[in-house]
């Protein structure tokens, strides 16, 4: 994503009339990856699931793979779509997929200044963007339960 994009970027319209934005609940070794925004200013310091815009003619799953490569420098495989979709700014909707890390170590290359792997019991340790919270709660159901 570029600095001129908003939360998760922007993309083309897909079916519903809303611009579809994709994000990944990137899972690895029982943890979920959180990315801290560095831009724009009104979102900086808050945490999100990484992702971005779906380009014209691109399948959402392909956009997810491309965005993770561009933003984090990793190769990942999309899994299941997390049920639901969440409004971003007017006319934009967020859809989230689980994804499995195939290769590479995530690095904050674009729009983020820090990454953290969080176990299920650590998910509340970061200040998630409001629109990401429902998807994070759904992703948490796919993580191992916290040990007593």
* 27-38 pLDDT, tens digit each: 999 999 999 999
Q: What is the mean pLDDT of the chain?
A: 87
Please determine, for residue 24, whether its predicted confidence score (pLDDT) is greater than 70.
Answer: yes
Please determine, for residue 7, whether its predicted confidence score (pLDDT) is greater than 70.
Answer: no
**Over residues 77-102, mean pLDDT:** 93
Please determine, for residue 21, whether its predicted confidence score (pLDDT) is greater than 70.
Answer: yes
Q: What's the confidence (pLDDT) of residue 106?
A: 97
**Over residues 17-44, mean pLDDT:** 93
Query: Please, which residues bridge with residue 114 across strands?
Result: 36
Tell me the pTM.
Answer: 0.85
Contact 89, 139 (CB under 8 A): no
Q: What's the confidence (pLDDT) of residue 16?
A: 56
Q: What's the confidence (pLDDT) of residue 37?
A: 96
| CA pseudo-torsion sign 77, 80, 28, 130 | positive
Please determine, for residue 2, whether its predicted confidence score (pLDDT) is greater than 90.
Answer: no
């Amino acid at each position: 994503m570029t600095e001129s994009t908003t939360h998760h970027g922007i993309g083309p319209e897909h079916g519903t009339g809303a611009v579809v934005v994709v994000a990944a609940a990137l899972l690895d070794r029982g943890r979920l990856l959180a990315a801290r925004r560095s831009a724009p200013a009104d979102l900086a310091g808050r945490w999100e699931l990484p992702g971005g815009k779906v380009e014209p003619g691109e399948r959402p799953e392909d956009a997810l793979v491309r965005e993770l490569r561009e933003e984090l420098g990793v190769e990942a495989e999309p899994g299941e779509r997390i049920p639901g979709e969440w409004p971003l700014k007017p006319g934009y909707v967020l859809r989230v997929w689980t994804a499995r890390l195939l290769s590479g170590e995530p690095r904050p290359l674009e729009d983020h200044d820090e990454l953290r792997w969080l176990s299920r019991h650590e998910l509340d340790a970061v200040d998630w963007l409001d629109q990401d919270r429902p998807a994070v709660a759904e992703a948490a159901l796919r993580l191992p339960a916290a040990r007593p």
